[in-house]
Structure formats: C-alpha cells, structure tokens
Amino acid sequence: MQTDDRTDDGRSDPGHEPNGELVAIHDVVLEIAFPEGSLPRIGDALSIPRPGGKAIIAEVRSHSAPGRVRALALDNPAGLHRGLDVIGTGKPLPIPVGESVLGRALNVKGDAVDHGDPIEADRHIGIEQDPPAMVDQRPSSEPYETGIKALDLLVPMPKGGKIGLFGGAGVGKTVLVMELMQRTITHEGGVPVFAGVGERTREANEVYLQMEDQGLLEDSVLVFGQMHETPGARFRVAHTALTVAEHFRDHDHRDVLLFIDNIYRFAQAGMEVSALLGRIPSEIGYQPTLDLEMGKLQERIASTTQGSITSVQAIYVPADDLTDPGVVAAFAHLDASGVLTRDLASRSFYPALDPLRSSSSLLNPRFVGEEHARIAQRVKTTLAEYEDLKDIIQILGIEELSGEQRTTALRARRLERFLTQPLFTTERYTGQKGVSVPLEETLRGVREILDGHHDDVPEQAFYMVGTIDDVLDKAQTFKDEDDDPGAPSSDRRDLEDDREGGGEANES
C-alpha cells in the first residue's frame, strides 16, 4: 500500500491544522474559507466542531475559488451554521486497522456501530491510497472452488481475482454473496471484510446477526454505509473497507476476502456527489468521472507479493438493463461475471445463474483443464439450442420436435435443474439442508447428463440436490412412492415440474 509522510496514528498533526471558516452550507456540501497559504488538499479530512454535539467530519472534494474549498459532509450536517471554525487534519480520513477491528462493525469513519466499546487501534491509515505498483502485483489463474455447482462449472472465480454477481432486485444477489462468504470463510480461511454500500439497514442487520449466529463474526470485519446516510458516506465506505483489507494484505501478509454489496450503489452515490458539486452530468445522469472513480476503487483490489485480496461484488442492474453505464463501468474490472436472471428466479431455480450470459476469464483449457472447458462449452451449447426451441415447445409442445431436438430439450431441462442446489444461508427459510459439491462431482454429473445416462430419470429428481448420486437416490424415492397407493403419483409430480419449469410440455 502506498503511504505518504503524513502521520498515521489518527491524531491531527499540529503542523497541518489550518483553521478555516464555514461560509456556506448547501445540504451536505460545505463551502469553507481558509487563510492564504493554508488551503487543504483534495481528499483531506476536515473536522467541524458542532455546538453541543460531536464534530462533523467532511472531505475536501474541490477548490472552488481562491482561498475556498468545497467539502462533502460524511455525517448529517444538522446543527451546522455559517461562521463555525473548521480544522484541517492535513491528511485523508484516518481509520483504525489491524487486529483491533476484527469482530467489529464500522462506519465510513472507522467508528464502531455495533454498540461495543470504542475501537482502540495502534495504527490508523488514510482511506485515500494508490493502487499497488504494476511490478508488485501477482495475478493468479488458480480457480477458487466454492462448492456451488453453477459457479464452479460455468463461472470459475480466480483466487486473488474479482467476480461480479449481476442482477435486478430480488434475484438472489445478496443471498449468493452471503453464501460465498460463509463457504470461503469456512473452507479457505483468510480474513473476510464485508462492505455494505448503500443498502437497507435491515440487510445490514441481517448480515451482522447471521455472521454472529454462525460464529464467523469474531474473525471478520463489517463496514457499513447504509441507504439513509449521506452520499459522501455511501461513496467512501467501500474505500474504508478496502483500506482495512489492504492493511491485512500488506502489513500482516494475509489473504483477504473482500465482499462488496452493492457496487452499483457506489456508482449511484458518486452520481449524487457529482450533482451536489455542480458537475455537468452525462446524457442519462451519471457523473462524467464514473469510469475514473470506478477504476480508482477497483484497481486497489489486487493481489501482490505480500498477500491477496479476492473480491466478490454484488452489482444491482437497474431495470434489468446490463448496458446501464453504472453496470458497464464495473464489467471491465472483473475476472468473472455471473448474471442472475428474473426468469430463473421466478421458477425457483437457485442460484438463478444464466449460463449463456455469464463468463469467466478462467474458463479456458490452460486454467481449468481440457475436460472442464469442454464440458462447460457443451452445457452452453445445449442450453443455447434449447433456448432456440422454447417458442416451438410452448406453441406446439415438445412432442412436435424431431428426435434429436427432443433429446436436446430434455437434457437441457435436466441440466437446468441439476445446476440448482440448496444453500446454507437459506436453510432456516426452506428447511432444506445446504450442500457443497466438489468440482469433480459436478463435472461427473453434468457429463453423465449430457451423455444421456440419465434420460429415464424424472426431471424433478434433478432439482435442488447435490451430486448425481443424490439425483438417483431421489428418483428411487419417487419410485417407492409410486408403489405406495397413498403417495402422490408420478403424473402429479410431472405436472408440478411443468409449472415450476414455466409451463412447458412434459416429456411424457
């Protein structure tokens, strides 16, 4: 991590404390006058003592006129008035880092928000840092096995890389982020850092309580900038979390797992900040510096000779439009992109990952091996052919297809269902125990489905199970129930399967 000669112990350096005066307040944008020769730098933190209350922290965003700066309040500016003294800290906002923040929930300023004792850290670091030098970075091509069939097969995630989970509201992004968080912490070790960017308070509370219940909180760090907070807080909270992660990587030489939910809210907060500062927006409202701001954040998420940062990022897609500039800005920085669709979610196919729109730079024989790459390509080809046949099936029924087309459609339907699985994070809601599937078992199961070894197995047996052996066990259970006069018949299950699968005609 790049550092400068400013103090990092969290105290204001007396040599860098120019006194300013608050001369104008425009909501969360503060206009401050400073004496000649003592103008603070862009990115420096300012402290504004509030009468009868805690000091407001603001961050310099522009030099608006000679002797004047515009600063963005990171706290609610209620209680401020013109004429108040402003103290420059002479450095970017310092936050506590290291062992003292493990097991804690912080805000953008590094203050505890978990009702625990104040954090007493030996070291504080400014949240404005440069990315690692190019020669110090160590990109990895080793896949990060998650135990989630759809991800491991079709969107392999590199250790020390970045994966984005794209989707509209309600398709399961946050659930999948939490699932990956639990699995990687449990099986891979490392230091997990979670950044809640612009999400609802309820979701932050759920994350905190869930990690506490699962015994994962003690070795984790949670950083929240919630939906009701100022645009400045929501815009900078990801940098706070990243600074915590960088310290574990560079100072403690540890591998870090950085989870960000939601990176689109970072872009959205930047849009609000830009508008408040009076910048001319782009044609559809985004800030002109969107790509720059996204790049400054994403380029810091890197693996170096000191350690690695593996990042999982949820990315909200407004109106399900993947061409939205806020979404596109994140695409270029990711090693893998998983697209979650409303169609699959509406059919209760979870994770609702679309194999045809998802991609990974690792899905190459050089990185995952010939067999894995070949099977993944066969899956995509089969599902693409099935997609082309859906209109015919819905109008005429599957019986009107040719023999080869019918076989393709039936195997594709089995693949869709086999790529679903119960998740650990949803056990309390579904009552179904989560499963983790080794990559070898995923490849074996998919290969056998593609080769037609299980064409006679009912489709419903493939839904929400782990391995192909679990499919066969479930099918045997169905057979035993069919032999029981009081149990639901296979015809009834087939009908339910049709409803689940979008009303397509059944194979029988």
Q: Which residues are catalytic?
A: 173, 199-200
SS3 of 15, please?
helix
- Helix 468-483 vs helix 490-500: crossing angle, to nearest 10: 130
By DSSP bridging, strand 104-106 and strand 336-339 are: unpaired
Which DSSP string corresponds to 367-433?
Answer: HH-HHHHHHHHHHHHHHHHHHHHHHHHHHH-GGGS-HHHHHHHHHHHHHHHHT----GGGHHHH---
CA distance 292 to 360: 24
Residue pair 398/409 in contact by the 8 Å Cβ criterion: yes
CA distance 450 to 408: 9
- Rg (C-alpha) for the chain, rounded Å, is 26
| β-bridge mates for residue 225, sequence order | 197
CA distance 481 to 292: 60
CA distance 51 to 32: 17
Residue pair 84/22 in contact by the 8 Å Cβ criterion: yes
Residue pair 240/246 in contact by the 8 Å Cβ criterion: no
Cβ count within 10 A of residue 295: 15
- Helix 439-450 vs helix 468-483: crossing angle, to nearest 10: 60
Whether the CA torsion 166, 168, 170, 171 is positive or negative: it is negative
Residue 228 identity (one-letter amino acid):
H
